[in-house]
A = this chain, B = another copy of it.
Amino acid sequence: VTTLSASRPNAADPRPTMKDVAAAAGVSVKTVSRALGGESGVQQATRDRVQAAARKLGFRRNDIAASLRRLGQSMATIGLLIEDVGNPFYASVTRGVEEVAREHDHVVIAASSDEDPELERETLSAFLSRRVDGLIVVPAGGDHSYLAPDLARGTPLVFADRPARGVEADAVVVANVRGAADAVRHLIGHGHRRIGYVGDASGLYTARERYRGYTNALRSAKIKLDQSIVRQGAHDVDSAAAATAELLAAEEKPTAIFAGNNRATIGVLRAMRAHRGRIAVVGFDDFELADVVEPAVTVVAGDARALGRAAAERLFARLAGDHDPVRTIVLPTTLTARGSGEIKP
């Protein structure tokens, strides 16, 4: 009983149940269920009486109990696991997921994995035990075959932002290779031949893909890849800034830089402030102040909110009975020229 009082500190009186409402209204429990559940076959007078009693008692149906018996046992909840809710990119993804969930009268349980496979697994396990109706996951590295049994048992799964190995599941990603190539081609189009790269470690799917786009574009333009102006492994703003400082301090420094993600872009900008150079920059991923900094930043970017929406829509399609073969949806990227990418060498 200590547990009870501890978990419900102010509970002078416990929550009323349908039984209480039934007693107050002088009807059976089933009639209460019908009246409050909006079912037909209840006299208006009875319905009114029940509703009045419910209101007076402050009754709130216990969805947990209701779902237990209900067919499918759905709690109208979907689980969302992302890298970090605090990161603006994933915040937008979350927003998109939430919008679609609301359209389907579902709520979203969200959690951050911080890119930790162990934590991811634990969290998803907790979600599954709660019987979420479906899962949207931005997969941390590693194998995801442990999700296969639950998928087979009917909990749909959609990967977002990057695909995962080990399970056959839908995925929604942005056109990383193509977008990166567009960015680099844009720089080449403005006369650059010596284009540096600052981005995340190649262990990450998006980083790997974007780097591939970078090298592809160089190859198509017959520009030789020069590893001395490539800096992978910049996972945060500070390391990206440091990497950029190195590039700018070099003898044969690049005339342009392609930044592989929003953190890298910010790092590059920060380093360039100190440097007072006149170097072109195109970044992958947009950010709010891209048009306020000087020069305004040219970016190529996918739409994070649309990514979240698309993933959620795929999930609800599966939930609605879609049995089509698993597929990966690739969302387009857009290049927005704002100045920094149009600087000549």
* A109 within 8 Å of B (CB atoms): yes
Determine the chain B residues whose CB is within 8 A of the CB of A123 once the complex forms.
107
* Chain B: minimal CB distance from A161 (Å): 16
Report the bound CA distance from A98 to B123 in whole Å: 12
A-side residues, CB < 8 A to B, are 1, 3-15, 58, 60-65, 67-68, 71-75, 77, 84-88, 90-92, 94-95, 98, 102, 107-112, 123, 125-131, 133, 149-156, 266, 269-270, 273, 287-289, 291-294, 305, 318-323
Give the nearest-CB partner of A131 in chain B.
Answer: B64
Min Cβ gap A287→B in Å is: 7
Closest to A272 in B: B292
The 9 closest A-B CB pairs, nearest first, are A11-B154, A86-B95, A91-B91, A8-B154, A7-B72, A294-B294, A58-B149, A289-B289, A63-B129
Q: How far is the CB of A67 from chain B (nearest CB, A)?
A: 6
B72 touches A319 (CB 8 A): no
Known contacts A9-B319, A64-B67; can you find 17 more A-B pairs with CB under 8 A? A5-B321, A6-B320, A12-B152, A13-B153, A15-B153, A60-B150, A64-B130, A64-B131, A84-B95, A86-B91, A86-B92, A88-B91, A98-B111, A287-B288, A287-B289, A288-B289, A294-B294
On whether the beta carbons of B64 and A319 are closer than 8 Å, the reply is no
Q: What residue of chain B has the Cβ atom nearest to residue A66's Cβ?
A: B129
**Within the oligomer, what is the number of copies of this chain?**
2
In angstroms, Cα B72 to Cα A316, docked, is 32
CA separation between A294 and B150, bound complex, in Å?
52
User: Would you mind naming 5 contact pairs between A and B with Cβ atoms under 8 Å apart?
Assistant: A9-B156, A15-B154, A62-B129, A91-B94, A108-B109
Q: Are B287 and A270 in contact (CB under 8 A)?
A: no
Residue ID in chain B nearest A127 by CB atoms:
B107
The interface residues of chain B lying within 8 Å CB-to-CB of A131 are: 62-64
Write out the residue numbers on chain B whose beta carbons fall within 8 Å of the beta carbon of A11: 153-154
Judge whether A108 and B107 touch: CB under 8 Å.
no
